[in-house]
């Protein structure tokens, strides 16, 4: 007898043999028990999880002559014919090669005839999503109301390609990926039955490589048995499966943690010598980082799908890692994995990203920064400000002294010239306001006197109006901080807005009534206010507008602390 691969040799022959799809098997067995079999079923899910196998079991269950506990007996002639794929009443159709409307027309004609030897005529359409739109439309009526002896079971990996009209006429069952633990247990059962020795680490590696597909796992196991013989060991199968030993991943992350470039280069050379595809390298590294991240949670290392020795190693290594650092590294390599497929030089891209990891500092939470003492923060600021002073105080060399002295003197002259016109308006104004400053106790009375409303009084008390509006509507006050009255003519006040976006100007226009009423409360006289943009006098207004950056953060210690630590400023 010719050799039969494991995926066919150990194909489930009863519902109880199917692993990892309990929600489907239990539902179908209950349907048989209650005699509630639908006219059509749709089985969808990833590759190799048992869709076609379940369809064959359904065909057996429908036509079995001697069912045992609603399971096919696998002893009658009907069960044997279905198992051997030679039943005249159970027809398997490949949707990829029989996708046209002519094939569906033949199906519609043949289903009218009763079965030859079985109770039902069952059509299993595999890869049904490959049918054309016309073929689907031709199948609709027959699928909705087939003859009493007709049943349809359709299998697909791409359910989104099937028309909703087809799915709505069937019962849909979604098959899940099979967990690595279930795949490993199934492989151990098969190896024990075939009397082949193995180690747990090898089973875990094959289970992860299968990525939730039982058929893929058994195909890999076939290949491993051919290479390793009667004794499967992890060291032997790494070359066959293209696996990277866990030690290399641990050495890699340790080199990144300790910022040891020489060790990192050595690990990269070892990985290159293995000849493993770079996508598999990054995928394995992501899996390794995920295991470390889970191990940072106390007691969670037992959920990692590796042998107990590696679980202990991960738990020990995770103590030295900050969880946020692992999340940052994992994010970088998750983005890198799809980029490698498009890169012209994927090897260089991988090496550059790993070397970049050496330059990443340890994560510091915002809470730690905000909770740090102000003294230490001020000390750090002092250090930052003293560094440039030391550089300026260093004696220049003889070769550069002549050139640098002239440049420094000229730069200082230019800066003084620029500062003089900025300060002149401020120095000229005090003589005009000397009387108001000397008579400060009378300033409030002057504000209330209706006959003494002039532009100077409005300017000197503009900040009072901003403060009062801030207590009512803070967003308007923040925009008014960038304004200054420029002209008063017949109770029409022109106010200039500087360095503000258009939507802030519109906000002032929408709240003009609030601003004018507040102005009347402060100055006891009503005026009509007009807002204008004027960037030419920006410097003058910056000197005249009172500083109020602390006002929005008043009463909020967190905001004040953030501004202090990061030397920040509230803009809007």
| Domains assigned to the chain | 6-176 (3.40.50.300), 183-191+193-358 (1.20.272.10), 444-565 (3.30.300.180)
**Average pLDDT rounded to a whole number, residues 227-245:** 82
Q: How confident is the model at residue 561 (pLDDT cuts 50, 70, 90)?
A: low
Report in angstroms the alpha-carbon separations of 266 from 255, 260, 313: 10, 10, 22
User: Out of 66-75, 181-190, 239-248, which region has the weakest mean confidence (pLDDT)?
Assistant: 239-248
Q: What is the model's pLDDT at position 553?
A: 44
Residue 165 predicted with pLDDT over 50: yes
Residue 442 predicted with pLDDT over 80: no
pTM value is: 0.60
Q: How confident is the model at residue 539 (pLDDT cuts 50, 70, 90)?
A: low
User: Out of 291-300, 342-351, 376-385, 505-514, which region has the weakest mean confidence (pLDDT)?
Assistant: 376-385
Q: Name the average pLDDT for the chain.
A: 79
Q: What is the model's pLDDT at position 440?
A: 44
Choose between 124 and 236: higher pLDDT: 124
Residue 28 predicted with pLDDT over 80: yes
Q: What is the model's pLDDT at position 535?
A: 55
Residue 210 predicted with pLDDT over 80: yes
Separation of alpha carbons 145 and 50, rounded Å:
27
Q: What is the model's pLDDT at position 160?
A: 93
User: Out of 9-23, 66-80, 359-373, which region has the weakest mean confidence (pLDDT)?
Assistant: 359-373
Spatial CA neighbour of 537 closest among 489, 492, 496: 496
Q: Give helix then strand counts, H and E, for the chain.
A: 28, 8
Q: How confident is the model at residue 549 (pLDDT cuts 50, 70, 90)?
A: very low
Percent of the chain with pLDDT over 70: 77
Residue 138 predicted with pLDDT over 60: yes
Q: What is the model's pLDDT at position 42?
A: 95
Token pair 């280069």: residue: 265
Separation of alpha carbons 314 and 305, rounded Å:
11
The continuous run of DSSP H or E covering 94 comes out as strand 90-94
Choose between 2 and 122: higher pLDDT: 122
**Average pLDDT rounded to a whole number, residues 366-384:** 53
Residue 419 predicted with pLDDT over 60: no
Q: How confident is the model at residue 434 (pLDDT cuts 50, 70, 90)?
A: very low
Q: What is the model's pLDDT at position 536?
A: 54
| Both tokens assigned to 325 | 């650092």
Residue 39 predicted with pLDDT over 70: yes
Residue 404 predicted with pLDDT over 90: no
Percent of the chain with pLDDT over 90: 26
Choose between 442 and 182: higher pLDDT: 182
Separation of alpha carbons 254 and 425, rounded Å:
63
Q: What is the model's pLDDT at position 214?
A: 93
- How remote is the C-alpha of 469 from its chain's centroid? 43
Q: Which long-range contacts (CB under 8 A, 24 or more apart) does 345-354 make?
A: 346/278, 347/272, 347/278, 350/278, 350/281, 350/282, 351/268, 354/252, 354/256, 354/264, 354/268
User: Out of 60-69, 163-172, 449-458, which region has the weakest mean confidence (pLDDT)?
Assistant: 449-458
User: Out of 122-126, 272-276, 283-287, 517-521, which region has the weakest mean confidence (pLDDT)?
Assistant: 272-276
Q: What is the model's pLDDT at position 208?
A: 83
DSSP 531: E
Q: What is the model's pLDDT at position 131?
A: 92
Separation of alpha carbons 220 and 212, rounded Å:
13
Residue 538 predicted with pLDDT over 70: no
Q: Which of 115-124, 273-282, 371-380 has the highest mean pLDDT?
A: 115-124
Residue 433 predicted with pLDDT over 60: no
User: Out of 12-16, 111-115, 404-408, 514-518, which region has the weakest mean confidence (pLDDT)?
Assistant: 404-408
Are 471 and 463 in contact, with CB atoms under 8 Å apart? Answer: no
């Amino acid at each position: 007898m010719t050799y039969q691969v494991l995926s066919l040799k150990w194909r489930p022959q009863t519902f109880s043999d199917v692993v990892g799809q309990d929600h489907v098997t239990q539902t179908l067995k209950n349907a048989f028990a209650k005699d509630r079999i639908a006219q059509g079923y749709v089985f969808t899910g990833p590759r190799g999880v048992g869709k076609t196998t379940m369809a064959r079991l359904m065909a057996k269950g429908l036509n079995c002559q001697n069912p045992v506990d609603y399971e096919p007996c696998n002893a009658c002639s009907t069960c044997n014919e279905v198992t051997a794929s030679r039943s005249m009443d159970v027809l398997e159709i490949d949707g990829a090669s029989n996708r046209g409307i002519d094939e569906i027309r033949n199906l519609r004609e043949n289903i009218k005839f009763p079965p030859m030897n079985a109770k039902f005529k069952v059509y299993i359409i595999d890869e049904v999503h490959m049918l054309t739109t016309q073929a689907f439309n031709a199948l609709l009526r027959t699928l909705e109301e087939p003859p009493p002896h007709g049943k349809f079971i359709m299998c697909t990996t791409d359910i989104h390609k099937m028309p909703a009209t087809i799915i709505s006429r069937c019962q849909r069952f979604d098959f899940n990926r099979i967990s690595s633990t279930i795949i490993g247990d199934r492989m151990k059962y098969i190896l024990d039955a075939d009397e082949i020795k193995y180690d747990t680490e090898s089973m875990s590696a094959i289970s992860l490589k299968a990525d939730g597909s039982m058929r893929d796992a058994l195909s890999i196991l076939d290949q491993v048995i051919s290479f390793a013989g009667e004794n499967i060991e992890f060291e032997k199968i790494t070359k066959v499966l293209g696996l990277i030993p866990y030690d290399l991943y641990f050495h890699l992350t340790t080199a990144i943690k300790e910022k040891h470039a020489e060790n990192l280069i050595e690990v990269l050379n070892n990985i290159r010598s293995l000849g493993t595809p770079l996508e598999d390298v990054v995928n394995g590294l992501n899996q390794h980082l995920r295991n470390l991240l889970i191990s940072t949670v106390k007691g969670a290392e037992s959920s990692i799908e590796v042998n107990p020795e590696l679980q202990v190693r991960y738990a020990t290594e995770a103590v030295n890692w900050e969880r946020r650092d692992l999340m940052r590294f994992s994010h970088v390599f998750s983005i890198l994995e799809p980029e490698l497929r498009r890169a012209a030089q994927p090897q260089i891209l991988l090496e550059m990203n790993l070397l970049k990891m050496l330059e990443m500092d340890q994560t510091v939470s915002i809470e730690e920064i905000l909770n740090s003492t102000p003294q230490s923060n001020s000390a750090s600021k002092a250090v930052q400000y003293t560094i440039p002073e030391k550089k300026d105080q260093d004696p220049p060399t003889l070769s550069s002294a002549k050139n640098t002295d002239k440049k420094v003197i000229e730069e200082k002259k230019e800066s003084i010239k620029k500062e003089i016109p900025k300060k002149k308006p401020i120095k000229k104004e005090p003589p005009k306001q000397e009387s108001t400053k000397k008579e400060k106790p009378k300033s409030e009375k002057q504000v209330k006197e209706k006959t003494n409303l002039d532009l100077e009084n409005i300017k000197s008390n503009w900040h009072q109006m901003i403060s009062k509006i801030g207590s009512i509507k803070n967003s308007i006050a923040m925009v008014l901080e960038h304004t200054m009255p420029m002209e008063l003519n017949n109770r029409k006040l022109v106010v200039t807005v500087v360095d503000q976006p258009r939507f802030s100007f519109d906000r002032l226009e929408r709240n003009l009534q609030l601003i004018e009423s507040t102005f009347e409360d402060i100055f006891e006289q009503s005026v009509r206010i007009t807002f204008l943009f004027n960037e030419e006098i920006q410097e003058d207004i910056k000197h005249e507008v009172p500083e109020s950056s602390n006002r929005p953060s008043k009463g909020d210690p967190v905001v004040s602390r953030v501004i202090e630590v990061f030397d920040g400023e509230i803009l809007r």
